[in-house]
A and B are shown apart, each in its own frame.
Chain A
Amino acid sequence: MQNQPDWCNKGLAPVTAVITPTGRHEEGKDRSFITVDNRERTAVRIRFIITQSKREPSGMLFGALRNPRLKMLKPIPLTISRDESGSVAVCWEAIQEFGYGANLHTALQDFSATIAELHFFLESEAQRLGEDLGRVSAILREHIAPRR
């Protein structure tokens, strides 16, 4: 027949079957075999290969503000980088604020504490801010706010 995959010409045909827990299951050294119960009793080999990427993310959305006096309005986009010493820096480019630590977890903890402190500082000095810090304060207010 025309337009048929090549394996159709070899006496093989696809089947549709439901693999149920009652199907015969055998464990091998590094693979499992499940016999799919169909009329032809075709043995199906299923192998799961799990690989862990060693590539670190280059960015993330931050939403884990830990200060009980503040709440997140929307997540903060962070870039992630690692310096020569292996320490991790997370950076909010829009206001050039950062968290820094031995690993991503401690860098994020540092960042969380930093933006909370920055928020309270900028609010307390609102009347005396230069133009750039006024811009920083406005951006920060889009993302965090006091809990009422």
Chain B
Amino acid sequence: MTAHMHHPDWDALNDYADGSMQQNSRADVARHIDTCAACRDTVARIRALLDSATSLPQSVEPPAEAWTAIAAKIDEAKVVHMSGVSRSGQASNAGYDVARRLSRRRWLQTAVAAVLLVIVSSGITAMFMRGASHDEVTATIPGLRVNAALAALPAEVRTVERTYLATVEELVAVLNDPASGLSPQTIRAVERSLAVIDAAIAEARQALVDDPASEVLREMFAKTYQQKVELLRRASAHAGT
């Protein structure tokens, strides 16, 4: 290709204009362009197009509904990904994370049942602690049959229980806050799960009534309440997440 005889073809002019031409060919084309207005004009037009292309907005806002659809698909994918495997069969940490969160949610569901059971059981106990009579308690909770002997717990045991109940009531308030976001279904599921814990407390309490001097029973009673409080404490730490 010489400067005067041959015009560079379209590919060569493009390579020259965008800088991708090999060095040994550039000089030849440059010499031709110096003397050829038509090719010089073509190179200028190509470069103007390239300038316009790089000047296009880098960012274009997507429609608002795009995120709504993405969030819905992610939510749908959480159910599919519970096992930690994506639809394509590849392991996905997002799935494991979701599974952990769902486990935490199930644990949270358990904690909420404790709240409801505590509300009932602690309400009754609190009434006895305040010295309410058997008749006063049953008048407050129609249909409830209460063993009058509960009121006969040793004073020091009642003191221990009063301390735990104060903590329980604080944690109950956190979980009952509407901002915790727990659904009625969640609450029902937790109720069923924590019935075992309150049954154990009730058994320990009854055993203490029968044998108030037993250090083993007192310790068992306190430990059962400790477990309940610890469960509620962990539940309230996760409420609202």
Chain B associates with chain A: no
